[in-house]
Amino acid sequence: MTRRERNWLLLAPAAAWFFIMLILPLSFVFVFSFGERGDAGGYVAAFTLEQYANLPARFAAFKNTLILAPLGTAAAMLIAYPLAYQLAVRTDPKWRLILLVLVIVPFWTSILIRSYAWIYILGGQGIPRLLESIGIDDVRLIYTPFAVLIGIVYGYLPLMVFPIYVALDRLDKRLLEASADLGARPMTTFFRITLPNSIPGIATGCMLVFILLMGEFLIPALLGGGKVFFVGNALVDLFLQSRNWAFGSAVAMTLIVVMLVTVTLYMRLIARLNTQRDSDVSLM
Amino acid sequence: MRIYAACVYLFLYTPIAIIALFSFNAGRHASQLQGFSVQWYGRALNNPFVMEALENSLVVAFTSATLASIIGTMAAVGLHSVRGPVRAVFDAIIYIAIMIPGIVIGIATLIALVTVFDVINPWIAAIWPRVEAAPQFSMGRGSIIAAHTMFTMALVVVIVRARLSSIEGALMEASADLYAPPWATFRRITLPLIAPAIFAGFLLAFTFSFDDFIIAFFVAGSETTLPIYIFSSIRRGVTPEINAIGTMVMVVSLVLLIVAQLILRSSDRKKSRK
């Protein structure tokens, strides 16, 4: 058996699996998005742009996703950064690993269970009841955009802390000392040295969280209570309730395109920030 | 700063603690603590629907993680010595598999499999000697396993490849120079070195599959997995029984995580001793 034949044999099962379970299904979505809905649901072959013309019917889902996903990503980043900084720069190396593991562990337990815990905390018997006892009445938290935002931050915080931690950990700490020795105030050191050096970590974290949020279903389903719904919720509704496969496929295709466009724009922005930083450094 | 960090840890662990706490609640009411009891664990373990869902979840997770580890490792080893367009296509496919939201993979698999089955099933019935005994394809355990294997295989390929590229090529060349046939080189040199990565990939795949809700929700047909059971129960209201199940599921994930860490670490230690 030649080396070439051996490689083909090694790659064939994975190639076949990816083709049947990924490429083929995705082409079905693409083809179906130009089709029509059957009388009893499902799909009837056709070539029409009708489904795409109908997209405004699900405008609210896209609007919610495109507002709450970036907002949730930004909130998670703002909460994660100081923690990652504390862990990477200020913590005794002896404790560093265990504290980092403690941040990541929740991410490896079911997001479903962790999200529904917030039904307790935000629901009528939770925080609103506590507020009532100190005299603040009629606070409604569950099934609001705020509840969804909390769920997002809670669910994806570990994913944000990790890459920022890695970036800050790689940062040569002697740079910080040098900056202080040269008389820079802590704030100056932070904005001139620490923050620019951690941008790749921030970028990775934001990207990971944002991509996952674009397809989110569970958090809005559990904490948004049908009032705050994402594209994911619209997709579940279209495929499992109303069985409108053609329109559902058009929504899914649009989601993928919107995602690709935002991610590409975002990467461009980060690349520009990085080159700017490099030229700043060379000026110094 | 320290206080801030403590607050974040509190934020991360309070919800988990609340679920564990309420799972030991004696009362039937889900939101008032009325003493300590393990009755809900007993209820959950004696609930045939829970046990059926658990069995499905375990079978699906074990099968798909095993398949993904084997096929994914094969692909990673193959890709290691392949250049050019084949490699570029594989890279692109793995990128797509990881980037596309789980929900889109779920609906794509659903419509593709249902459509294909609708075409194939009458054919099989037509050529089968006894029509009433003809096997019929339908959505169920098989389709969840196929979909989970696809996604987790991509993860295994990424992990094993990272490990492969960190191994010194000199070791394999030396083995080949000493006239070891390729299979012997693989078995005696490569496999032991990438074993921890394969194992980590297996556990990652297992946890992913065991915890996955969204893909299974679309492709499970009439079957239930544990996350699907939990989700549909929450829709009817949170009960202490669900808290007990949730606590058990979290403990299982944690134990797996710790076992994986211990094994990976002990293998690292052995290596550094050598």
Nearest CA in chain B to A243: B111
- Greater confidence, A129 or B190? B190
CB-defined contacts A:B, below 8 A: 211
Does residue A22 fall inside a structural domain?
Answer: no
pLDDT at A42: 80
Does residue A43 fall inside a structural domain?
Answer: no
pLDDT surpassing 70 at residue A140: yes
Give me chain A's average pLDDT, please: 89
Closest CA to B77 of A14, A54, A44: A14
Q: Which pLDDT tens digit goes with each residue over A40-54?
A: 878 888 898 989 999
- Yes or no, beta carbons of A112 and B79 under 8 Å apart: no
By the 8 A CB rule, do B114 and B33 touch?
Answer: no
Q: Which residues of A touch B68 (CB under 8 A)?
A: none
Show the low-confidence residues of chain B (pLDDT under 50). Answer: 274
Residues in chain A: 284
Q: Which residues of A touch B214 (CB under 8 A)?
A: 215, 217-218, 232
Domain that holds residue A231: 75-283
Residues in chain B: 274
Instruction: State the CB neighbour count (10 A cutoff) for residue B141.
Output: 18
By the 8 A CB rule, do B141 and A57 touch?
Answer: no
Instruction: State the CB neighbour count (10 A cutoff) for residue A197.
Output: 17
pLDDT surpassing 50 at residue A284: no
In this prediction the ipTM stands at: 0.90
* d(CA A195, nearest CA chain B) in Å: 17
CA dist., res. B17 & res. B247, Å (int)? 9
Lowest mean pLDDT among A55-69, A162-176, B28-42: B28-42
Going along chain B from its start, the domains and CATH numbers come out as 52-273 (1.10.3720.10)
By the 8 A CB rule, do A37 and A240 touch?
Answer: no
By the 8 A CB rule, do A14 and B72 touch?
Answer: yes
Closest CA to B97 of B167, B171, B148: B148
Query: What total number of domains does chain A contain?
Result: 1
- Yes or no, beta carbons of A249 and B93 under 8 Å apart: no
Q: How far is CA B114 from the centre of its chain?
A: 23
Q: At A214, which CATH number?
A: 1.10.3720.10
- Yes or no, beta carbons of A121 and B15 under 8 Å apart: yes
- Greater confidence, A275 or B97? B97
Q: From the list B74, B146, B207, which residue is nearest A14 (CB)?
A: B74
Q: Nearest-5° angle of CA B184, CA B190, CA B191? A: 90
- Lookup: tokens for B38: 């393990």
Number of helices and strands (H, E) in chain B?
Answer: 12, 0
pLDDT at A108: 81
Mutation to test the A interface, candidates B23, B93, B103, most A Cβ within 10 Å: B103
Positive or negative, the CA dihedral A54, A57, A62, A63 is: positive
Does residue A188 fall inside a structural domain?
Answer: yes
